[in-house]
């Protein structure tokens, strides 16, 4: 699969009205207003924004729609959004609220016919599949409900099943590496077999060199999703006016901060990738 250009995609995890971030999709910490972060990343050159309501599947409700409506009026790049999507009406509501693409995960594990119906009604260009994988012994298995529920489904088998219906893009998250700053799960990427889908790799970004290398070595990776490294850079350098509710004291005092976490801005990422002759959008 030839790459037109590599997309750098901030991942904004949302719980209620707040931007949150955890480690291994757990221990969520409130960081501030997701609308402010999204606008900042748009101004810094993000290629796309990925919103994920991280509790919608657990609580059977979704509060992301109101955020999407506000953000879509202020940014001019594609928005992918998901979390708790379980009906065709849910997909339509996300699209009506301003999402360009809708991400689905838990619902299609429970009922794969929903994925087929989604593609039939909305087409490949409007649907992506979010896959959350964990390593169990020597295999990678998929989870649902933000990594909280194991499915018993092997990663390659699941991607093959998805591709048998449509070659949709997959947002592939390593639950083990998410928020740790320990690096992308290179073993998980090497574990993939016969991938025909475009992959956006998410979870564990540690440094710029690693990002460049994993892009160069894997032709099916067409995007990199980044959360902690961008959010904490934005906070540490006071690039936004934050809500008082944002719990950022831990950064000032280095409390419970992932010890491996290196922060960087979107501009710094893009500048570095250009130096390494990786095709990116300016």
Q: What's the pLDDT at 242?
A: 53
Domain count, the chain: 1
Out of 43-57, 79-93, 153-167, 258-272, pick the least confident. 258-272
Residue 244 burial (CB count, 10 A): 5
Confidence check: pLDDT of 47 > 80: yes
CATH code where residue 228 lies: 3.20.20.70
pLDDT: which is higher, 249 or 74: 74
Region 17-29 average pLDDT: 73
pLDDT in tens, 110-161: 999 999 999 999 999 999 999 999 999 999 999 987 667 889 999 999 999 9
Confidence check: pLDDT of 57 > 60: no
201 domain-assigned: yes
2 domain-assigned: no
pLDDT in tens, 191-215: 999 898 999 999 888 889 999 999 9
Backbone angles phi, psi at 142, to 5 degrees: -90, 150
Region 247-268 average pLDDT: 65
Q: What's the pLDDT at 239?
A: 72
Backbone angles phi, psi at 54, to 5 degrees: -85, -5
Domain holding 196, by residue range, is 7-275
96 domain-assigned: yes
Q: What's the pLDDT at 256?
A: 46
Q: What's the pLDDT at 111?
A: 96
Tell me the average pLDDT of the chain.
87
Report residue 84's pLDDT band, with 50, 70 and 90 as the boundaries. confident
121 contact partners, CB below 8 Å, separation of at least 6: 88, 91
Q: Are 87 and 66 in contact (CB under 8 A)?
A: no
Region 11-15 average pLDDT: 93
172 contact partners, CB below 8 Å, separation of at least 6: 131, 133, 188, 199, 200, 201, 202
Q: What's the pLDDT at 255?
A: 44
pLDDT: which is higher, 23 or 189: 189
128 domain-assigned: yes
Confidence check: pLDDT of 163 > 70: yes
Q: Which class for 24: exposed (0-12), middle (13-18), buried (19 or more C-beta within 10 A)? A: middle
pLDDT: which is higher, 70 or 24: 70
Q: Which class for 117: exposed (0-12), middle (13-18), buried (19 or more C-beta within 10 A)? A: middle
Q: What's the pLDDT at 24?
A: 59
Q: What's the pLDDT at 149?
A: 82
pTM of the model: 0.90
280 domain-assigned: no
Region 11-39 average pLDDT: 83
Q: What's the pLDDT at 61?
A: 54
């Amino acid at each position: 699969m030839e790459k037109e250009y590599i997309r750098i995609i901030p991942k904004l995890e949302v719980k209620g009205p707040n931007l949150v971030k955890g480690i291994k999709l757990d221990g969520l910490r409130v960081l501030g207003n997701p609308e402010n972060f999204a606008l900042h990343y748009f101004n810094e050159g993000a290629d796309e924004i990925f919103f994920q309501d991280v509790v919608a599947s657990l609580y059977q409700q979704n509060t992301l729609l109101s955020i999407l409506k506000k953000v879509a009026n202020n940014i001019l790049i594609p928005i992918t959004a998901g979390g708790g999507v379980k009906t065709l009406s849910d997909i339509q509501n996300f699209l009506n609220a301003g999402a360009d693409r809708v991400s689905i995960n838990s619902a299609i594990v429970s009922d794969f016919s929903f994925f087929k119906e989604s593609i039939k009604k909305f087409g490949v260009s409007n649907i992506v599949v979010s896959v959350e994988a964990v390593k169990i012994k020597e295999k990678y298995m998929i989870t649902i409900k933000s990594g909280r529920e194991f499915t018993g489904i092997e990663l390659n088998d699941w991607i093959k099943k998805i591709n048998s219906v449509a070659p949709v893009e997959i947002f592939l998250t390593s639950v083990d590496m998410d928020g740790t700053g320990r690096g992308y799960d290179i073993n998980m990427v090497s574990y993939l077999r016969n991938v025909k889908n475009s992959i956006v790799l998410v979870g564990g970004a540690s440094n710029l060199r690693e990002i460049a290398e994993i892009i160069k070595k894997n032709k099916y990776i067409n995007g990199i999703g980044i959360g902690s490294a961008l959010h904490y850079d934005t906070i540490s350098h006071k690039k936004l006016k934050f809500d008082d509710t944002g719990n950022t004291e831990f950064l000032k005092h280095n409390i419970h901060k992932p010890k491996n976490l290196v922060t960087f801005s979107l501009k710094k990422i893009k500048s570095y990738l250009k130096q390494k002759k990786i095709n990116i959008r300016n």
